[in-house]
Structure 1
Amino acid sequence: MSTVEIEFCLPCGYLNRAEDVQHVILESLGETIDEITLVPGDNGVFTVTVDQQKVFDIADDDYNVDQIVRDVRNNT
């Protein structure tokens, strides 16, 4: 079982994206996840980590919910 953390820029309006990612991860992988948390941040941050390993960073990757879920699945 894994722990997923989604850190998002609150001032940038990324809350909806973070909630969307959280929802899809729970629907797709809920039985393999121990915990999934949303962490408000700033300065344009939007990252997803699995067991403290970064699997998505909006600074490096295009935002694609399906790809994020695949990356989470591959790291759980």
Structure 2
Amino acid sequence: MNDRQAKPAVTITYCTQCHWLLRAAWMAQELLSTFGTDLGAVTLVPGTGGIFTITCNETLVWDRKRGGGFPDAAKLKQLVRDVIDPERDLGHADRR
């Protein structure tokens, strides 16, 4: 197992029919900016039918249909952090 495989992987599946690529890419950038090399990969997966899901290590952290929309950046970072490193302080993203 190489170093990248040992680190958490995030997958963002987005609807191409709804033109959510930019939203998915922005969320990927936010996660990479916050977690950097602590993540092994952030993968964008095109889909259809209004899908927008985010998984981390195959754990569903967000589903647009279930969550009633999209998470803001701070909420997304908290959800991913809770899967990969619950004790991690996210600084301003943890403050209300």
Q: TM-score, normalised by structure 2?
A: 0.75
Identity of aligned residues (%): 29
Query: Over alpha carbons, which structure has the higher Rg?
Result: 2
Matched AA of 1:48 = I
Q: 1:7 aligns with which of 13, 25, 28?
A: 13
Structure 2 residue 75 is the aligned partner of structure 1 residue 67: yes
Which stretch of the first structure deviates more once superposed, 56-65 or 11-20? Answer: 56-65
Gaps of 5+ in 1: none
How many residues end up aligned between the 2 structures? 76
Bigger relative CO (Cα 8 Å, ≥ 6 apart) = 1
Higher strand share: 1
> Partner of 2:50 in structure 1?
44
Q: RMSD value over aligned CA atoms?
A: 0.9
Instruction: Normalising by structure 1, report the TM-score.
Output: 0.94
Name structure 2 gaps, 5 residues minimum.
1-6, 85-96
Select the structure that is richer in helix: 2
**CA deviation after TM superposition for structure 1 residue 73, in Å:** 1.2
> Following the alignment from structure 1 to structure 2, what is the Cα–Cα distance between the partners of residues 33 and 22?
11
Moved over 4 A (4+): none
